[in-house]
């Protein structure tokens, strides 16, 4: 069984309380449950993680790269939070590992502040999703199922 990694960056641990008018009222635990259901539908195991630290996210992408090399990775859904707009390190990790990665945003970042319009992740990602709210995670996992090579 292949594994889908769902990685969440800074402040996503505050889902449910942080700007609910932007991010909704669902918690990160709710997102994990949604992802577990979506992975089960597509025959994937789930690795669901969150960190406020850039280097930890880089390490997890490297781990996913090793799974990719071993043929056990379905792909990665990454909500890098604010690191989307600042992290060359995440960009380089994604490119360096050769993983299939979907960049995900709960809100439509292009309808928000101008600094959120640029992504260092997008050029290294296979696809980008924004503005579907928390249900976007399940859509991204379905996208991985479409992109993942046959087992």
- Per-residue tokens: 77: 């859904």
Q: Is 32 helix (H, G, I), strand (E, B) or coil?
A: helix
Q: Does 105 participate in catalysis according to the annotation?
A: yes
Q: Which of 23, 83, 120, 137 is catalytic?
A: 23
85 is in an annotated binding site: yes
CA distance 52 to 43: 29
Burial 111-121 (b: 16+ CB within 10 A, else e): eeeeebeebbb
Q: Does 83 participate in catalysis according to the annotation?
A: no
110 is in an annotated binding site: no
51 is in an annotated binding site: no
> Residue 38, Cβ neighbours under 10 Å: how many?
23
- Per-residue tokens: 119: 């992504």
30 is in an annotated binding site: no
107 is in an annotated binding site: yes
99 is in an annotated binding site: no
Q: Which of 68, 105, 120, 137 is catalytic?
A: 105
Which among 68, 40, 27 is positioned nearest to 142, based on CA atoms?
Answer: 40
Which residues participate in the annotated binding site for substrate?
79, 85, 92, 106-107, 116
Catalytic residues: 23, 105
| Bind-site residues | 79, 85, 92, 106-107, 116
């Amino acid at each position: 069984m292949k594994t889908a990694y769902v990685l969440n960056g800074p402040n996503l641990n505050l889902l449910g309380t942080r700007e609910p008018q932007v991010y909704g009222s669902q918690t990160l635990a709710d997102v994990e449950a949604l992802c577990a259901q979506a992975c089960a539908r597509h025959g994937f195991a789930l690795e669901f993680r969150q960190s406020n630290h850039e280097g930890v996210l880089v390490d997890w992408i490297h781990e996913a790269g090793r799974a990719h090399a071993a043929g056990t990775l379905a792909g990665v859904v990454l909500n890098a939070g604010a690191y989307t707009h600042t992290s060359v390190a995440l960009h380089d990790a994604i490119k360096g590992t050769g993983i299939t990665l979907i960049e995900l945003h709960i809100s439509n970042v292009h309808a928000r502040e101008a600094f959120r319009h640029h992504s260092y992740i997008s050029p290294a990602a296979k696809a980008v999703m924004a503005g579907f709210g928390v249900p976007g995670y399940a859509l991204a996992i379905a996208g991985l199922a479409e992109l993942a090579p046959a087992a």
